[in-house]
Amino acid sequence: GECYLAVNNLSNAELKLNSIIDFAKKQGGAYYEAKGSYVLAKVKAAQNDHKNAKSLIEHAKKIAADTNDKALALEIKKVEKDI
């Protein structure tokens, strides 16, 4: 998803990130669900969908808090300031 975002291919980025998030949810991969969510938030922000971008950031932050993952929380904080 991040590669597609880097070249501004937002539709493919969204598709891939949603797949990653769904897979992570099914497999119990909280880190990848959160990471997929905050990268998808960047895609949504690039699409001027700031409401959904903020919602995705909040979801990622909740996962980081629930798993007590300080490094993940820091990653999200860096992204959040640009949303």
Residue type (1 letter), 61 = K
The single residue listed with the structure tokens 């932050």 is 61
Alpha carbons 18 and 77: distance in angstroms, whole number: 21
Task: Please tell me the pTM assigned to this model.
Answer: 0.91
Instruction: Give the tens place of pLDDT for each residue, 11-39.
Output: 999 999 999 999 999 999 999 999 999 99
- 9, containing H or E segment: none
Mean pLDDT, the chain, rounded, equals 95
Cβ atoms of 64 and 73 within 8 Å: the answer is yes
Cβ atoms of 34 and 64 within 8 Å: the answer is yes
What are the tokens at 22? 């769904």
